[in-house]
Structures are given as C-alpha cells and as structure tokens.
Amino acid sequence: MRPKRTYKTELSNDELLIFDFLAMGGQAPFELMRQEVYSLNLNTSYTHEISDNCLEEMMRKLISKGYLASLSDSELKYYLLTKQGGDLWEIERTPLWEKFCEDSSGSNEDDSDYLEIFCFERDTGLEFAKISLESKLYSFELDDMKLRSCESHDGLYWKNFHNGLIWEVDLEVDLEIESDLTDWDLYEKKRCWWRTLDELQKFL
C-alpha cells in the first residue's frame, strides 16, 4: 500500500514517489529510481508508473522548478532533493519528526561494532534502544549508551535542523544478527517511532 498523502501540492503521485526516494534514501543516480528497480532499492511493495524516457523528462521538469538538483562525478549523475522540494514532500507526507529515528551500525578502529541511533527527541531514540534490546534486534548494554548532538545528517541532507541527537553504544555481538532471532511482532507492538514511510503510517 502506498503511503498516505494530503494532496495539498501540485505533485503527481509518481513525482511524489521520486521525492520519497530522495527524501528517505538520500541522493541517488537515475538508474536506482527506474520503474523496474524502484521497489527493490527503496524496499517497497510498489513502484511508480513512469517509463525511463518519461522519467528523464520528469526529472528535468522538476529541476527546472527548483524541486530537484543534480550533480555529477567522474562516472555518474546524481539527483537530490532541494530545500524547496523537501518542503513540498513534508506537506504531502506530514512526517512526525519528533517520532523519527534512524539506526546505523559500523566498526570501531579495534574492529568492535557500534550502534548509532539518530533522532530529534531524546526519548524517541531511547525507546528504540530499549525495544530493540527486548525484541533482540540488537545486543548491547543500555547503561553504556552515550548521547551527543549533531547539526547535520547525510540522509536528511535537504532539511535544515539544529536539534539532531545521536545515541551511541558498542554492540556486544557481530553486526550480522540472524533475522529469525528478532521478535518483529513485539517490535511492532511496542513501536512508538518510525524509520521508514511504511512505519510512519501507523501515526497518520
């Protein structure tokens, strides 16, 4: 099922799906947003209905309106959402930023693994941490978590904010956690945050 929208802007449904990709997935090359691979790359059950040729024309139109921008490196051309485009996306999808969090993990210099939880509200990230432990999504010591502020976020490059927070903690196990160990029913039952557009629909 496609995410809810308010229909308060001029964006077509297909244009809005491209905005979704760039708002939630970060800047991306054209190839990742093609009709045949959109759902795979954004992990959705749906895709847009625009052919490659029409999609290229649509992207040019959105750039001319100031909603998208493009940049190139030596190999690829990337598209990204502008602040103006992001404002339209927020009007349509009505994201509740106070309930938003994003988890990411990586390796320290000593090859130990760590978890970062980005959020705008301290308690939102903390609740995610507690339920991720309870549902066995991650394994760490809750008392070891540390909080710091941040003024930018790669995934939300188009959004101006000054109240970003990151919870940090070292993981006790390898990053690769077997999916069958995670109790997703418990996760969903107790979830009071959203990480994806699908999760956001619970609060709309």
Q: How confident is the model at residue 178 (pLDDT cuts 50, 70, 90)?
A: low
Q: How far apart are CA 136 and CA 38, in angstroms?
A: 30
pLDDT tens per residue, range 131-156: 999 999 999 999 999 999 987 777 78
- Look at the domain 13-93 and name its fold: Arc Repressor Mutant, subunit A (1.10.10)
Position 69 scores a pLDDT of: 96
DSSP state for residue 9 in the 8-state scheme: S
Of the listed ranges 10-24, 129-143, 167-181, the one predicted with least confidence: 167-181
CATH 1.10.10.10 domain range(s) in the chain: 13-93
Residue type, 153: H
Residues with Cβ within 8 Å of 172's Cβ and at least 6 positions away in sequence, in order, are 139, 140, 141
Return the structure tokens found at 130.
């507690």
8 Å CB contact between 146 and 152: no
Whether pLDDT at 175 is above 50:
no
Instruction: Give me the residues paired with residue 166 across strands.
Output: 118, 148
Cα dihedral 196→48→19→198 (10° resolution) = -10
Q: How far apart are CA 146 and CA 117, in angstroms?
A: 10
- pTM for the full predicted model: 0.89
Q: How far apart are CA 130 and CA 51, in angstroms?
A: 44
Rg value, the chain, Cα: 18
**C-alpha torsion sign, points 38, 39, 40, 42:** positive
